[in-house]
Amino acid sequence: MEQVPLHITDIFPQEKPETNKLHQFYTNLQDNRLTTTQCTSCGQRHWPPRTVCPACLSQKLAWVDLPREGRILAYTTYAMPLPGFDQPHTIGLIQLDQHLKLVSRIFHPADMEINIGEKVALVVLTLQDQRVMFAFSR
């Protein structure tokens, strides 16, 4: 896991059970697993994870693993300073499987060009206070 410094503007969510109903997502990330929720009533899988199924309004949800690899569909690199981010940094749309796309930070060598369709793999980032967040890397 890569160590990420905290900045004055804390963009990362609180991850403890007393502050977040989806704390299991972060526990799973600590185990190097990217997960989401799937409704056990209607079978719909959700991103981001939910506490209630938006399709049938059931609260019967289970945690399911997502692929650890995906492909870049689109990206942008920010050269201007944004609070809480090192500069420059890249954000991309990642296709994980046939039905799931998500937005994530993409780590890549500064001197290498990113290509649409390129494979990326899950990276779990550890903050100084031991909270975790996900990103993808080339």
Q: Where are the domains of the chain?
A: 14-66, 67-138
Look up tokens 């503007």; give the residue.
9
Q: What is the pLDDT of residues 18-70, one digit of tens each?
A: 878 999 999 999 999 999 999 999 999 999 999 999 999 999 999 999 999 99
Contact 85, 43 (CB under 8 A): no
For domain 67-138, say whether CATH 2.40.50 is its number.
yes
Contact 114, 120 (CB under 8 A): no
Residue 102 CA to its chain's centroid (Å):
7
Q: What would you measure as the largest C-alpha separation in the chain, in angstroms?
A: 48
pTM for the predicted model, two decimal places: 0.82
